[in-house]
């Protein structure tokens, strides 16, 4: 794509499309990462919330 051939309006529209694409990409990656972390915590016998809320490092699980 030759950006030099685009009008200002086209460039601004493209800029908006890129911003939305970046936002959606990051949102998807965060959701995927959260799912992976939840699965790992569950596999170890914890909930992710339990691990994140446990700031003193001591387990409340028995």
C-alpha 27/C-alpha 25 separation (Å) is 5
Structural domain boundaries, residue 38: 28-52
Residue 15 lies inside a defined structural domain of this protein? no
Residue 61 lies inside a defined structural domain of this protein? no
Residue 18 lies inside a defined structural domain of this protein? no
Residue 43 lies inside a defined structural domain of this protein? yes
C-alpha 6/C-alpha 18 separation (Å) is 15
Q: What is the pLDDT of residues 19-62, one digit of tens each?
A: 999 999 999 999 999 999 999 999 999 999 999 987 666 655 55
Q: What is the DSSP letter of 5?
A: G
Residue 16 lies inside a defined structural domain of this protein? no
Name the residue with higher pLDDT: 54 or 11.
11
C-alpha 43/C-alpha 3 separation (Å) is 49
What number is the average pLDDT over the span 2-14?
97
Query: What is each CA distance from 6 to 2, 20, 40, 43, in whole angstroms?
Result: 7, 19, 47, 52
Number of domains in the chain: 1
Residue 32 lies inside a defined structural domain of this protein? yes
Residue 45 lies inside a defined structural domain of this protein? yes
């Amino acid at each position: 794509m030759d950006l030099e051939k685009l009008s200002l309006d086209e460039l601004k529209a493209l800029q908006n499309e890129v911003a939305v694409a970046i936002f959606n990409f990051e949102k998807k990656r965060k959701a995927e990462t959260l799912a992976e972390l939840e699965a790992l915590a569950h596999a170890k016998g914890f909930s992710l919330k339990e691990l994140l809320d446990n700031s003193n490092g001591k387990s409340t699980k028995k």
